Amino acid sequence: MLKRDYDGQNCSIARALEIVGERWTLLIVRDAFLGRRRFDEFQESLGISRNVLTERLGRLVDEGILERVLYQEHPKRYEYRLTTKGRDLHLALTGLRQWGDTYLSKKPPKVLRAKADKRPVVAALIPEGEAHYRVDEVELVPGPGR
């Protein structure tokens, strides 16, 4: 069990897991990347209880990964949008999904591809400062069957 304090530790993975390491949290972020924004969309997609979803969305807002945006005045209703900090999780989620597709999936994988030329894209380590695709330059599409 990880300690909740980090005295004497310098582990960015442990610190990141304290924010996004809970199962529902990453699935909410995944759904946000898939275009879901409203509470009911997340709840329907995930089958998560309303109280757990409320708690996780609140934590993601508090951590600056999602922002609440008013979309209806009477009654007040909000949607949740990824912030820059949230969009920066795309690489981590892509790597995790591709690892799962390789080692765990029984279904045909999804393929991340560049919108411009439709070439497949993989999560990878690149030299700092080198060009890379932005989140809005790629799309997730069904891949070939296994």
Find the CATH number of the domain harbouring 38: 1.10.10.10
Asked whether residue 48 falls in the same domain as residue 16, the answer is: yes
Query: SS3 helix, strand, coil % of the chain, rounded to 5?
Result: 40, 15, 40
pTM for this prediction: 0.85
Asked whether residue 16 falls in the same domain as residue 79, the answer is: yes
9-61: pLDDT as tens digits: 788 988 899 999 999 999 999 999 999 999 999 999 999 999 999 999 999 99
Q: Which residues contact 59 (CB under 8 A, 6 or more apart)?
A: 19, 25
Asked whether residue 67 falls in the same domain as residue 23, the answer is: yes
Q: Which residues contact 19 (CB under 8 A, 6 or more apart)?
A: 25, 59, 63, 65
Asked whether residue 33 falls in the same domain as residue 79, the answer is: yes
Specify whether the CB–CB gap between 65 and 85 falls below 8 A. Answer: yes
pLDDT band for position 1 (cuts 50, 70, 90) = very low
> Per the domain annotation, does 54 fall within a domain?
yes
Three-state DSSP class for 67? strand
Three-state DSSP class for 38? strand
Domain boundary among 39, 62, 83: 83
Domain that holds residue 93: 89-142
pLDDT at residue 6 tops 70: no
Three-state DSSP class for 48? coil
Q: What is the pLDDT, as a whole number, of residue 8?
A: 64
